[in-house]
């Protein structure tokens, strides 16, 4: 099994592909930003159909097809335990400086919630990218540049309180919680939006076309590399 990730890990960023449907434009975009390629269990079938070969396939292997299992036999890293999801197994074992997850949004909501919990647990350097959204766990402070009128949604995973600039509805002094006040469907009214939060982790949800400024704001940098042709 690949050793656990560490903050100083070198090399290009990694795209982790999950089992939910992934369009070729989204997969191609992800590989442009994070050219190393991994599959979480059934995500291997997405790569097989696309004619792509992952560097590794991680998971309990209960969803992968026999065809993908045979094709990627040399890069399979089975993890038998059932206490964590396949996404968690792939994320924790990544050696990349940061990761981009595709195939984890837009299908089963329980799978998406499990991904958010895993990202929040370790404040993972990971962003999920889907057709409509890109999602990360906020660092304590974030400043990012967005087009005016961009959707900015904040989802607390526990009690949290923050401050903001550049939002139509500031969050200053609002006690947020999953069973209380939340921050969905806010909008940017300034070219720069700043967010500061204390307390429990808070998920930031932006339109998928904001992926580049989000990665820039988070300090993630992709290494130059030509993605595989799709």
Per-residue pLDDT tens digits for 190-212: 999 999 999 999 999 999 999 99
| More confident call, 63 vs 7 | 63
What is the pLDDT at residue 10? 54
What is the pLDDT at residue 222? 54
Domains of the chain: 14-131 (3.40.50.10240), 141-205 (2.60.120.320)
Q: What is the mean pLDDT of the chain?
A: 91
Classify burial at 60, counting beta carbons within 10 Å of its beta carbon; exposed 0-12, middle 13-18, buried 19 or more.
Answer: middle
Band the pLDDT of 106: cuts 50, 70, 90: confident
What is the mean predicted confidence (pLDDT) over 49-62?
96
Tally of CB atoms within 10 A around 24: 11
Band the pLDDT of 80: cuts 50, 70, 90: confident
- Position 59 pLDDT exceeds 90: yes
What is the pLDDT at residue 226? 46
Judge contact between 135 and 128, C-beta under 8 A.
yes
- Position 5 pLDDT exceeds 80: no
């Amino acid at each position: 099994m690949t050793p656990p990730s560490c903050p100083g890990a070198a090399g290009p960023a990694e795209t982790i592909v999950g089992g939910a449907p992934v369009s070729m434009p989204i997969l191609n975009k992800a590989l442009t930003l994070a050219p190393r390629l991994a599959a979480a269990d059934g995500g291997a079938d997405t790569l097989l159909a696309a004619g792509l070969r992952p560097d590794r396939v991680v998971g309990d292997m209960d969803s992968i097809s026999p065809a993908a299992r045979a094709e990627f036999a040399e890069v399979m890293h089975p993890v038998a335990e059932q206490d964590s999801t396949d996404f968690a197994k792939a994320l924790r074992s990544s050696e990349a400086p940061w990761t981009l997850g595709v195939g984890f949004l837009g299908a089963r909501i329980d799978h998406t919630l499990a991904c958010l919990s895993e990202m929040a647990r370790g404040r993972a350097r990971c962003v999920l990218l889907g057709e409509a959204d890109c999602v990360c766990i906020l660092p304590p402070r974030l400043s990012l540049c967005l087009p005016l009128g961009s959707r900015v949604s904040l989802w607390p995973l526990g009690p949290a309180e923050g401050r903001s600039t550049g939002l139509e509805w500031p969050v200053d002094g609002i006690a947020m919680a999953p069973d209380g006040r939340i921050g969905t469907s806010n909008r940017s009214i300034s070219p720069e939006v700043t967010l500061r939060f204390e307390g429990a982790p808070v998920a930031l949800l932006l339109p998928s076309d904001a992926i580049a400024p989000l990665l820039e704001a988070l300090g993630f940098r992709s290494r130059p590399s030509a993605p595989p042709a799709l």
